Amino acid sequence: MAEAARRRGGSRSDDRRSGERRSADQLFDRELDQLPPEARWREWMQRVEATIFAASEPVTREMLARIVGKSCSIDLLIDDIREELRGRPYDLVAVAGGWKHLTRPAYADAIRAATGSSESAVDLTQSEVLVLMCIAFFQPITRAELSSFFGKEISRDLIGHLRGANLIASGPRSPTPGAPYTYVTTKEFLLEFGLDTLRDLPDFEALEDAGLLSKEKLLAGDIMPGFSGPGENNADADA
């Protein structure tokens, strides 16, 4: 009974906080009907830019809809903000299902010279990039399937490094014997590579047509003859 009372009390507390949020929400003026159209649009632009600037994660369309009027086109607002940022060293970029301020690639060397590092905190070997690419294109995929692609075992350490960098996560269990875990890419993967969704990955057929990738070689374990895993040197890879 005491536990039930606590649950009921918690529910009342949650309801009260929810009511306070709704009350504050009702006081916030999204529509700005009192302003002339140009001033209203400018205020919406500034609200959107300020919100994205202050956020540590990409800001979704749903979040931005809370601070602008119902008739406001968020896409047009973003276009106008980006136009104003055209001459600035940073831009407003669609990434990982939302929008985020990102510096332009042309200033990567300046950032690196000033801070000793680039904006990207993930340091990947060529082998890890190749494995990550395969996971991105063929997810959900098991470690055994990855090993068959490359013609040699993909180590748990390599998978662990990609997981530790939050670039991949466990997917659904495979229907194959033993029901091994599969691996899928994450939101952090989209952020790291500047993708809005997985649909922004290069078209696999286009990569094949350009001679940059061969699905036949990939499936035959011949994607890169010099492929090596963590801790393997070139001599070992050539052996």
Find, among 106, 109, 83, 103, the residue nearest to 91 by Cα.
103
pLDDT at 9 over 60: no
pLDDT (tens digit per residue) in 96-124: 999 999 999 898 889 889 987 655 556 78
pLDDT digits (tens, 9 = 90+) for 206-221: 666 655 555 565 555 5
User: Is the torsion defined by CA of 128, 130, 121, 56 positive or negative?
Assistant: negative
Confidence of residue 129 (pLDDT cuts 50, 70, 90): confident
**Mean pLDDT computed over 10-23:** 54
Sorting pLDDT into bands at 50, 70 and 90, what band is 12?
Answer: low
d(CA 216, CA 25): 56
What is the C-alpha to C-alpha distance for residues 149 and 223, in angstroms, rounded to an integer? 8
What distances in angstroms separate CA 179 from CA 56, 129, 144, 159, 171, one per listed residue? 37, 26, 12, 18, 12
Top-confidence range, 46-50, 146-150, 199-203, 234-238: 46-50
Rounded Cα distance between 100 and 143, Å, is 33
